[in-house]
A = this chain, B = another copy of it.
Amino acid sequence: MSLLVVGSVAFDAVETPFGKREKMLGGSATHFSISASYFTDVRVVGVVGGDFGTEEMSVFERHHVNTDDLERLSEGKTFFWRGRYDFDLNTAHTLDTQLNVFADFKPKLSDASLASRLVFLGNIQPELQHEVREQVRGAELVALDTMNYWIHTTREALVRAIRSVDLLIVNDAEVRQLADEPNLIRAARKVLSWGPRALVVKRGEYGAALFTAETYFAIPAYPLESVFDPTGAGDTFAGGFMGYLASQKTIDEGAMRRAMIFGSVMASFNVEEFGTERVQRLTHEEINERFRAFKQMTHFEEIPFARAVEQTK
């Protein structure tokens, strides 16, 4: 009854208007698994190099993230990304990408990983996502993330991978690009028509939306007075979302909606400090507090309009 994530484990160098880090733990599978670990048991499939030390491994250990399928190639170096954010923190400017051991990454799933109930295919080559998806046919729910790079370079393979999963988790711009349709609602309908039964759209400071064939759910973002480093916010959202779903016996619309809130809560913590620093030392009470804040900031009474009419006419 566990959650599996396939994705990158990396070192990030990040510079924002508020400071910098030369080498910190990063990567989609890292952000995802630490976030999800607050809700369920997580297994990571990925690859690291000889420079990935005990200090980095201890972060996974402290969060009880299973790393049996985290391959270690001692001769190579870990995936490295260097980026910069300007005063407008919405756009990451990539300064350097060194794929290193990640260039030839072929996900290898142990029997335990193959038996996972929920699977998250992090942002990697669509062909690899599709291969993994084919191996976990017994999973109750398989979700996929991607990015504009794959939409532009391997569109066909990406659409094939999307057709094969249950859930797509992407950002606002990506779903419009994917569907080649500027209207988000129409873009969402189009992507759902390819096969997934649900679509989660991340909208940064504007919140997030959940689409199914019959339903629509949308929430604002948690109101933050300062965003420090947005790196990994999307994967942290996905980790909270999938982690919460994994903790639920039944994955229905109600559970999906609460998962949206928990995903947003986790992402809101992520951006408050560099990399995984804030999410690493969260407490359940802190998560609870923000979940309750979401209820408070979205609640209104459903008082029928007839009452207003009666009062005035």
Q: Which A residues have a C-beta under 8 Å from some C-beta of B? A: 39-41, 87-88, 182-186, 189, 203, 205-207, 209, 215-220, 223-227, 244, 246-249, 254, 257-258, 260-262, 284, 287-288, 291-292, 295-306, 308-309, 311-312
A183 touches B258 (CB 8 A): no
Q: Provide the residues of chain B in CB contact with A41, threshold 8 Å.
A: 312
Please name all residues of chain B whose beta carbon is closer than 8 Å to the beta carbon of A298 when the two chains form the complex.
Answer: 217-219, 298, 300
- Please tell me if the beta carbons of A225 and B185 are within 8 angstroms of each other in the complex: yes
- Which of chain B's residues have a CB closer than 8 A to the CB of A301? 254, 257-258
For A247, list chain B residues within 8 Å (CB).
308-309, 311-312
List the number of copies, as a whole number. 2
State the CA gap A23–B220 with chains docked (Å). 38
Residues on B with beta carbons closer than 8 Å to the beta carbon of A217: 297-298, 300
- Cβ of A300: which chain B residues have Cβ within 8 Å of it? 217, 219, 254, 257-258, 260-261, 295, 298
User: For A306, what are the chain B residues with a Cβ–Cβ distance below 8 Å?
Assistant: 284, 288
Write 24 A-B pairs (CB below 8 A) sorted by A numbering: A87-B182, A88-B182, A183-B227, A184-B223, A185-B224, A185-B225, A207-B218, A218-B297, A219-B220, A247-B309, A248-B308, A248-B311, A254-B300, A258-B301, A258-B303, A261-B300, A262-B305, A287-B305, A288-B306, A291-B304, A291-B305, A292-B302, A295-B302, A298-B298
Residue of B nearest to A260 (CB): B300
Does B189 lie within 8 Å of A225, measured CB to CB? yes
Q: How far is the CA of A226 from the CA of B187 in the complex (A)?
A: 11
Which residues of chain B are near A291, meaning CB under 8 Å? 302, 304-305
Q: How far is the CA of A206 from the CA of B217 in the complex (A)?
A: 13
What separation, in Å, do the CA atoms of A248 and B305 have in the docked complex? 11
In the assembled complex, the CB of A38 is this many whole angstroms from the nearest CB of chain B, namely 8
Q: Which residues of B contact A312 (CB under 8 A)?
A: 39-41, 246-247
A-B residue pairs, 9 tightest by C-beta: A218-B220, A257-B300, A206-B206, A247-B308, A295-B302, A185-B223, A288-B305, A247-B312, A185-B225
Q: Which residues of B contact A309 (CB under 8 A)?
A: 39, 247, 284
